[in-house]
Structure 1
Amino acid sequence: MKDKKRLAVFDLDHTLLPLDSDFSWGQFTTRLGWTDPHEFIRRNDVFYEQYKAGTLNIHEYIRFATEAVRRQGPARALAARDQYMEEVIAPAILPQALDLLQRHRSAGEELLIITATNEFVTAPIAERLGVQHLIAVGLERDSQGPEGWITGEIRGVPSFREGKVTRFNDWLTERGLAREAVEVTFYSDSINDLPLMDNADHPVATNPDDRLRNVARTRGWPILELF
Structure 2
Amino acid sequence: MDIALFDLDHTLIPFDSGSAFTRHLAARGELPPEFEAQYLEYCQRYAAGTVDMVEMHRFTVGALAVHEPATLARWLEEFREVVAPQVPRRARELVRQHQAAGHACALVTATTRFVAESFGAVLGLEEVLATQPELGPDGRYTGGVVGHACFREHKLAHVQAWLAQRGKTWSEVRRSWFYSDSWNDLPLLQAVSDPVAVDPDARLRDFAASRHWPVLSLRDP
TM over 0.5: yes
Alpha-carbon shift at residue 20 of structure 1 (Å):
1.0
Q: Does the aligned pair in 1 maintain the 2:19–2:40 contact within 8 Å?
A: no
1:196 aligns with 2:192: no
Secondary structure, aligned partner of 1:211: helix
| Alpha-carbon distance in 2 for matches of 1:121, 1:103 | 24
Alpha-carbon shift at residue 174 of structure 1 (Å):
2.2
**Structure 2 residue aligned with 1:71, among 60, 66, 69?**
66
| Alpha-carbon distance in 2 for matches of 1:149, 1:36 | 19
Alpha-carbon shift at residue 102 of structure 1 (Å):
1.2
**Structure 2 residue aligned with 1:164, among 155, 158, 166?**
155
- Percent of counterpart pairs with the same letter? 36
Q: In structure 2, what residue type is equivalent to 1:128?
A: V
| Alpha-carbon distance in 2 for matches of 1:64, 1:71 | 13
CA shift digits 1:95-123 (9 cap, x unpaired): 21111111111111111110000111111
Equivalent positions of 1:1-227 (< 5 A) are 5-37=1-33, 39-87=34-82, 89-143=83-137, 148-182=139-173, 183-227=175-219
Unaligned runs of 5+ in 2: none
Unaligned runs of 5+ in 1: none
Q: Does the aligned pair in 2 maintain the 1:19–1:92 contact within 8 Å?
A: no
Secondary structure, aligned partner of 1:136: strand
* TM-score normalised by the chain length of structure 2: 0.94
Q: Does the aligned pair in 2 maintain the 1:34–1:68 contact within 8 Å?
A: no
Alpha-carbon shift at residue 67 of structure 1 (Å):
3.1
RMSD: 1.4
| Alpha-carbon distance in 2 for matches of 1:120, 1:41 | 18
Q: Does the aligned pair in 2 maintain the 1:184–1:200 contact within 8 Å?
A: yes
Greater Cα offset, 71-80 or 191-200: 71-80
Alpha-carbon shift at residue 188 of structure 1 (Å):
0.4
Q: In structure 2, what residue type is equivalent to 1:179?
A: W
Moved over 6 A (4+): none
* TM-score normalised by the chain length of structure 1: 0.91
